[in-house]
Amino acid sequence: AQSVTQPDIHITVSEGASLELRCNYSYGATPYLFWYVQSPGQGLQLLLKYFSGDTLVQGIKGFEAEFKRSQSSFNLRKPSVHWSDAAEYFCAASSGAGSYQLTFGKGTKLSVIP
Amino acid sequence: EPEVTQTPSHQVTQMGQEVILRCVPISNHLYFYWYRQILGQKVEFLVSFYNNEISEKSEIFDDQFSVERPDGSNFTLKIRSTKLEDSAMYFCASSEVQAKGFGSGTRLTVV
């Protein structure tokens, strides 16, 4: 079965520190991959996506993610976290090929210490 | 930047009542979706809609649920007879291809 796993439920980092949020997927073929962010009371905002090509993708708000086929991973990174980055982050995948449904991970809640 | 809008932001309904959640997708998008997020759980796909018909649906989307695009701008999710376990945040999304814009959600509370 297709699945997306985010191993970390909650991560706390200090402001200015680097961040890496983990995401692993289990799909028959390389899926389309996404990272979304959800602030409290808000909807899901797309940070970045990977369809094909360059395995390092740049997104909004200074985020980037690297697709690693050998590890079935698509980890989200940011070199220096800001207090406003505190939110919940969701990794998602779609098989493409005519399917438009997204499968989400359970999310990682990020807390930022001033 | 255009965005998906959802109304209401919070709706309380009695068990057994019908409820309609409303969404206005991004205007030039052709694919529409509903997802839900039960408190503390992951976001789950319910249904996708294209060309005035359902293109995919999950096992959650049973006969109690229906979707409609009643006019050129709205996309609705109807729950015919709500159950306590339907309490969740419901997100509407729209897309041209794969990258979807999501609304801010409607929190449905069934009492």
pLDDT 10s per residue in chain A (114 long)? 789 999 999 999 999 999 999 999 998 788 889 999 998 877 888 899 998 888 999 999 999 999 999 999 999 999 999 999 999 999 999 886 556 688 999 999 999 998
CATH, residue B86: 2.60.40.10
CATH number at residue A21: 2.60.40.10
Structure tokens at A107: 């999310």
B104 in any annotated domain: no
Q: Smallest Cα–Cα separation from A80: which of A56, A57, A64? A: A64
Shortest CA gap B104–chain A (Å): 3
Mean pLDDT, rounded, for B103-111: 89
φ, ψ of residue A11 in degrees (nearest 5): -130, 135
Instruction: Tell me what the mean pLDDT of segment B58-86 comes to.
Output: 94
Query: Is B58 within 8 Å of A101 when comparing Cβ atoms?
Result: yes
Condensed to tens digits (0 to 9), the pLDDT of residues B7-56 reads 999 999 999 999 999 999 988 888 899 999 998 888 999 999 988 899 98
Query: How many folded domains does chain A comprise?
Result: 1
Q: Which single residue is written with the structure tokens 């949020």?
A: A21
Residue of B nearest to A31 (CA): B98
Q: pLDDT tens-digit profile of B66-76?
A: 999 988 789 99
Helices (H), A9-99: none
Closest-CA residue in chain A for B96?
A100
The residues, any chain, with a CB within 8 Å of residue B58's CB and separated by 6 or more, are A101, B44, B45, B46, B47
- Domain span at residue A61 reads 3-113
Distance of CA A10 to the CA centre of its chain: 14
CA distance B98 to B56: 14
The answer to whether B49 touches B55, Cβ cutoff 8 Å, is yes
Q: Is residue B61 part of a domain?
A: yes
Query: Is B75 part of a structural domain of the chain?
Result: yes
| Residue B109 domain flag | no
pLDDT on residue A97:
57
**In this structure, is residue B108 part of a structural domain?**
no
Number of domains in chain B: 1
SS3 A83: helix
Domain coverage including residue B44 = 5-10+17-96
pLDDT at A35: 95
Contact A101 B33 (CB under 8 A): yes
* Confidence (pLDDT) at B109: 92
pLDDT at B103 over 70: yes
What count of other Cβ atoms lies within 10 Å of the Cβ of residue B100? 29
Closest Cβ–Cβ partner in A44, A100, A106 for B102: A44
Number of neighbours of residue B45 by Cβ within 10 angstroms = 23
Q: Is residue B102 part of a domain?
A: no
Beta-carbon contacts of residue B67 (< 8 Å; ≥ 6 apart): B32, B34, B47, B49, B54, B75, B76, B77, B78
Interface test with A, best of B26, B42, B46, B61 (most A CBs within 10 A): B42
**Is the Cβ of A100 closer than 8 Å to some Cβ of chain B?**
yes
Q: What is the pLDDT of residue B1?
A: 65
